[in-house]
Amino acid sequence: MSILTNLGLSFRTNQLIKKDSTRQSISYLNAKQVGILFSIQDLEKHNAIKDLISKIELDGKQVETLCYKGKNKENYEFKFDFFTQKDLSIFGDITSEHVIAFAQQKFDYLLNIDFKPNLFSQNILAMSNARCRIGHIQKSRQGLFELMVQAETDKVEQLIKLIYEYMSKIVLE
């Protein structure tokens, strides 16, 4: 990504975070749609995401995914919709209609399964219309999530377990 693209994307993300958006979470029991946003890493993470999707679907929820495919990364099985740096303009605007549509979805929960979201994922999280965004703790980006979890290790399975555990316990009236 060029410096100009990084600056534009970072600026847009910061502006979106500063906007006061009212989000109103609902109980997990009443949730219907869950979005999962993540970066392609390896086959282990790919399989862990598939297991998470199955678990959420068994709970009766509809799940949509979007993943960031960095350079030299493999999109295993082509199971998930993905985006790349090519989906950004030189000024950091998202040009992909499916990425914009994902960000504008009214998810009940949007899960970010990355220990540190990349600039592109941060922008999608900031643009999101989700009622509740959940991810790994990001002290420098507190406006990205309504709920942050702290994994004790750098194992993606533990992060997924914590996110699911806390999400499934959310009970609101």
Per DSSP, helices labelled H in the chain are 3-18, 43-58, 97-104, 119-127, 156-168
Which are the contacts of 169, defined by CB distance < 8 A and separation ≥ 6? 28
Q: What is the DSSP letter of 66?
A: E
Among all chains, which residue has been given the structure tokens 């979005």? 35
Query: Domain spans of the chain?
Result: 3-168
Q: Using alpha carbons only, how large is the chain's radius of gyration in Å?
A: 15
Per-residue confidence in pLDDT tens, the chain, 173 aa: 577 666 665 666 666 665 656 678 899 999 999 999 999 989 999 999 999 999 999 999 999 999 998 888 877 776 788 888 888 888 778 889 999 999 999 999 999 999 987 888 999 999 999 999 999 997 776 788 999 999 999 999 999 999 999 999 998 75
Per DSSP, the three-state class of 155 is coil
| Pair 135, 125: CB distance under 8 Å | yes
* The domain over range 3-168 is classified in CATH as 3.30.460: no
